[in-house]
Amino acid sequence: MTEKKLLPQHVAVIMDGNGRWAQKNKVSRLSGHNAGMLAMKEIIKKADIMGIKYLTVYAFSTENWKRSAEEVGGIFGLLVKYVASELAELNENNVKVSVLGDWRAVPGAAADSIEKALKTTANNDGLRFNIALNYGSRQEITRAVRKISSLVSEGCMMPDEISEETISRFLYTGEENEYIPDPDLIIRTSGEERISNFLLWQCAYSELAFTDSLWPDFTPDEFESIVEEYTGRSRRFGGR
């Protein structure tokens, strides 16, 4: 296993391909999402074992509301199921759950489950597991700009005091979540090679990795292999 000092501190994952996996295996889309949830469970365990400090998964975007009511309801039902079955183990393993996005706008039972997970794991200091839920990066940046503009209009901040750090502070990864660092590595499954409105500000210098594996087929071994490949890259952050 790679030395921990060489590991990415923060890995973010765009979990793509549940629907295509379902089609490929001739099962319902909800069965595909359920298989994806099981894959996510194993990746969380692997990241924790490897010593990665932050793992962020793109669970439900602001654009996903365009899907059928049946599929959306099923996804949030699976979230409730996941918290009910896994929260005790997450807490026992010292995992801290955080949410990026407007999670209070999701259906009641799902929001209640999220709130329970946040409260139960609030004092844990192991792996930080961030769920991007009802999340869109453009919406996140717009929200930050509105908060900053309110401070300016109230005379609490001058326009020339606004810096990159100011904007970062008001993102979901900012002070309300105790400053989650920018992702070192973003992985996208299913063969698609795009960011899809995910952590646009934070990914300025992230390394990207793409795999043809559909998310339910994405294994802990493949996750480790991609992380191993990352450790051999040279990150110059614009320098030589």
Give the active site residues.
16, 64
223 SS3 class: helix
Task: Give the three-state DSSP class for 128.
Answer: strand
Contact 216, 36 (CB under 8 A): yes
DSSP H/E element including 167: helix 164-169
Q: Angle at which helices 29-50 and 69-92 pack, to 10 degrees?
A: 30
Strand (E) positions, the chain?
Answer: 10-14, 54-61, 96-100, 128-135, 185-188, 207-210
**Going by DSSP bridges, is the β-strand pair 54-61/128-135 parallel, antiparallel, or unpaired?**
parallel
Helix (H, G, I), strand (E, B) or coil at 100: strand
Let me know: does 129 contact 90? Beta carbons within 8 Å. Answer: yes
